[in-house]
Amino acid sequence: MVDIDLAKFFDRVNHQRLLAKLSEKIRDPRVLELIGRTLKARVVMPDGTKVVTDEGTPQGGPLSPLLSNVVLNELDWELERRGLRFVRYADDCNIFVGSPRAGDRVMSSISSFLEKRLRLQVNTDKSAVRQPHDVHFLGFRFSRHQEKGWLVYLSHKATDRIKANLKEMTPRTWGQSVDACLKELNTYIEGWGAYFRICDHEAIRSWRGLDAHVRRRVRAIAIRQQKRPRFLFRHLVRNGASEGTAAKTAWSSRGVWHKSARFGVHKAYGLAWFIGRLNSLEGQWLKHHRPAASGSQMSFAF
């Protein structure tokens, strides 16, 4: 795979060339003038300094990705003209070739096309000819299965990012109700699951560990909010734990994280308690693949 990344793409779009390309389709000069004024609008820096832009598209608005695709549309046509298979999202592009030698040839010719024709610069530090399993693209990576061929997995960077986000969303010093924490988690997990639903079933087995870790962090929040051992004891008993297991957990000399794995807490906040309250990563994947998922697979949703 020829993995191409453009260096500071949004900051280096040539205004004159972009407006010339837009004028081929847009006949109203007022629209072109408005886009030109938007491109050249001064940028206000955090310290209040105003900077005039001679190139690049303003980021943060809906116009920026649209104009960027107009620029790179010519790249798409060039790749199709050469009969190459590729996928592109904004300034990230992967081209599929049959050998490393062909990859080197394509990398050289496409880099030359981008720099001379589109006046864009390839980021040589991030661009390279790689094996498919070494490429991380938009949060995904590929792995070859002996029987099933190439499968789509979650990239290591995406895995680290979701772990960090879930940890940030479930601090032990959470100052609101547990329900408020669950509401935020559900929104994040639902959106995350919708995006990564194209991963194959073999790839989501590691998600069960993430789901279990999130549940434990929620249990730790519930424990911390009780503040005193006697309050925790009463709380666990009210939620279904026996007095014996609740007492062993509440008056344990270990910390909150250790208590969150004790039997008394698991009785009060078992898997059944989380069903209907907290989305699971694996459950979100199964929601998009119910026709193909077996009954045994569905049992792992929570």
Q: List pLDDT tens digits, range 234-275.
A: 999 998 999 999 999 999 888 899 999 999 999 999 999 999
Please report the pLDDT score of residue 277 as a whole number: 92
Q: For residue 45, name the pLDDT band (cuts at 50, 70, 90).
A: low
Please report the pLDDT score of residue 6 as a whole number: 87
* Number of C-beta neighbours around residue 203 at 10 A: 18
Nearest residue to 283 via CA among 197, 220, 219, 195: 197
Q: In angstroms, rounded to a whole number, what is the distance separating the alpha carbons of residues 81 and 75?
A: 10
When mean pLDDT is compared over 50-54, 89-93, 183-187, the highest value belongs to: 183-187
Please report the pLDDT score of residue 294 as a whole number: 45
State the pTM of this model: 0.74
The backbone torsions φ and ψ at residue 129, rounded to the nearest 5 degrees and listed phi first, read: -95, 115
Mean pLDDT of the region 69-82 = 91
Nearest residue to 297 via CA among 289, 246, 59: 289
Q: In angstroms, rounded to a whole number, what is the distance separating the alpha carbons of residues 248 and 200?
A: 42
Q: For residue 7, name the pLDDT band (cuts at 50, 70, 90).
A: confident
Tens digits of per-residue pLDDT, 197-219? Answer: 999 888 888 899 999 999 999 99
Q: Please say whether the beta carbons of 94 and 3 come within 8 A.
A: yes
Mean pLDDT of the chain: 86
Q: Please say whether the beta carbons of 145 and 202 come within 8 A.
A: yes
CA atoms within 13 Å, Cβ hemisphere of 35: 24
The one-letter code for the residue type at 37 is R
Please report the pLDDT score of residue 63 as a whole number: 78
**Residues with Cβ within 8 Å of residue 239, at least 6 apart in sequence:** 267, 268, 269, 273
Which of 11-15, 34-38, 164-168 comes out lowest in average pLDDT? 11-15
When mean pLDDT is compared over 13-17, 61-65, 141-145, 181-185, the highest value belongs to: 181-185
Q: In angstroms, rounded to a whole number, what is the distance separating the alpha carbons of residues 249 and 238?
A: 14
Two tokens, residue 213: 């870790």
Nearest residue to 106 via CA among 142, 137, 79, 71: 79
Nearest residue to 194 via CA among 97, 285, 60: 285
Please report the pLDDT score of residue 296 as a whole number: 38
Q: Please say whether the beta carbons of 6 and 96 come within 8 A.
A: no
Mean pLDDT of the region 46-58 = 69
Helix (H, G, I), strand (E, B) or coil at 144: strand
Whether pLDDT at 23 is above 50: yes
Residues facing 143 on adjacent strands: 151
Q: Where are the beta strands (DSSP E) in 213-288?
A: none
Whether pLDDT at 160 is above 70: yes
Whether pLDDT at 297 is above 60: no
Helix (H, G, I), strand (E, B) or coil at 120: coil
Helix (H, G, I), strand (E, B) or coil at 159: helix
